[in-house]
Amino acid sequence: MEQCGVSHILTFDLGTTYFKVCLFDDSGRLVAVRRVVPPAVRSPGGRYELPVDGFERVLVGAVRELNDAVAGGVSGVHAVCFATQANSFLLLDKKDQPLTPIILWPDERACPAEPVIQCLSGLKDYYNTTGVPAMNGQFMPAKLRWLQNHEPGICRQASRLCLISDYLTLWMTGQHVTEAGTAALTGLVDIHQLRWWPDACEHVGVHTGYLPAIVRAGTDLGPISPDAAALFGLPEDCRFIVGCLDQYAGAIGAGNVTPGGVSETTGTVLATIRCADRFNRDAKPGVFQGPGHSEKTWYQMVFGDTSANLLEAYRNNLPGKPGYEALCDMAADVPAGAGGLRIDANAPAGTDAMFIGLTDRHTPGQRVRAILEAVARALNQQIQDLCGDDRPGAIRSVGGAARSDLWLQIKADVLGLSVQATECPEPTSLGAAILAAGRLRGVGMDDLVSDWVRVRHESLSTPGNHRLYAEQVR
């Protein structure tokens, strides 16, 4: 049985592929984690939905598993917090009963977006007000418009709209509240005033009356409800601390909480986040901006499809589908440059067509190395888009790819920067725990991060390899 002792923060990471429920102790150490697959359902017409009863069942089950697995159970939990996906939502009636399943952000029923959604970003001062560069059919407003057009009866009954983390909040506290950074990713929020922007909401026909109140990450909503305490087996004095967008939580869990800091996650997509002290009105196209954990904190973020998905597609076409560690071992002794191979990110992933300059003499290790280098170059471009000439001296790396020291070294060589991987295997959940602990203790985020975020490995740039990579892009 795992030892809990003084563990006191419970976090819910509401990811798309997995939900993760974690316990942290009062020094920021991960005591236990349970990973569960949400019972999402794909159906014709591009629908991708999560039944509400399934959402509730897997979270309660995961907490109960933790209670059984940890000495002392969850009886010593002082607070709960969350990290969440954006643009996944549901509608509730006047009795707070679900009218829809949770419609997940990858749902494509509204793709391509109708013109009124596509034109939203054309509103005067749209980007400077919302921090969202453009809208598409996977954003909440597009799917809400689809419901209004195709299921108007449901929309007429709706009394509340909840993003997925808003529903968790309502369920556990009875309060209809949303976190500012998560809400901002709907493209309907005035991120300077932390309020729903009437012009944008009116443009797409969203009634502000059934939208949740917007609060900043780290807000203390008080004790959870007695019903929630009984259901989850938590103490009745356990407090609910508002979490944040999962990408922002990952940045916090990487220690990226002061202006100028940069962190990256290499997963299904490549995401790079810069912490800033102000909104940048001159940001490059494609940069998302949103409110952070304090009035003086902003997060600037870029996404890209050149990421670990390319490595996954390649391995899926190999005999036996080797693990990622085995793939990186293949490339361990391959010199920088991958034998001249480059990657065409627009070609079908996993096929020979994705390799530029491929010959029969190229080894599987060179192919893997070419993929790792392509992602590092994409990361370099994202940092350039976010930072321009004001590049950091080091970046923090989190996510599954951060477990590969080879990939960290390649990134360091391409970037010409120190790349630091953090110790905690669940940095997004750690970020949520830091939010909660900071609020409980009344201490600054900087101080807490210096104690709780630990660097596992640092890769320093190799001058010769950095020059080689720099020459390749000239």
- In this structure, of 166-175, 194-203, 343-352, the range with the lowest mean pLDDT score is 343-352
Cis bond upstream, residue 112 (ω within 30): yes
Predicted confidence at residue 7, as pLDDT, reads 62
Instruction: Find, among 78, 60, 73, the residue nearest to 21 by Cα.
Output: 60
* pLDDT average, residue stretch 297-315: 93
Q: What pLDDT was estimated at residue 472? A: 80
DSSP track, 339-394: GG-EE-TTSPTTSGGGEET--TT--HHHHHHHHHHHHHHHHHHHHHHHHTT---SE
Tokens representing residue 171 in the block? 């369920």
Count how many Cα atoms sit within 13 Å of the Cα of residue 431 in the half-sphere of its side chain: 29
For 7-66, how does the pLDDT look when each residue is reduced to its tens digit (9 = 90+)? 699 999 999 989 999 999 999 999 999 999 999 999 999 999 999 999 999 999 999 999
Are 420 and 458 in contact by the 8 Å Cβ rule? The answer is yes
Asked if 48 contacts 38 with a C-beta cutoff of 8 angstroms, the reply is no
* Per-residue pLDDT tens digits for 262-280: 999 998 889 999 999 999 9
pLDDT greater than 70 at residue 75: yes
Q: What is the spatial distance between Cα 324 and Cα 371, in angstroms, rounded to a whole number?
A: 12
H/E run at residue 281: none
Per-residue pLDDT, averaged over 213-236, amounts to 97
Q: Collapsing DSSP states into helix, strand and coil, what is residue 66?
A: helix
| pLDDT tier, 474 (very low <50, low <70, confident <90, very high otherwise) | low
Average pLDDT score over residue span 210-234? 97
Mean pLDDT across the chain: 94
- Residue whose C-alpha is closest to residue 416's, from 452, 446, 459: 459
Torsion of CA 199, 124, 302, 49, to 10 degrees: 30
Distance of CA 75 to the CA centre of its chain: 29
Query: From start to end of 180-297, where are the E strands?
Result: 189-190, 195-196, 213-215, 220-223, 239-241, 244-245, 262-266, 270-276, 288-291
Q: What is the pLDDT of residues 352-394, one digit of tens each?
A: 999 999 999 999 999 999 999 999 999 999 999 999 999 999 9
Token pair for residue 195?
């309020």
Separation CA 218–CA 435 (nearest Å): 5
pLDDT at position 5: 42
Q: Which residues sit opposite 270 in a β-bridge?
A: 266, 304
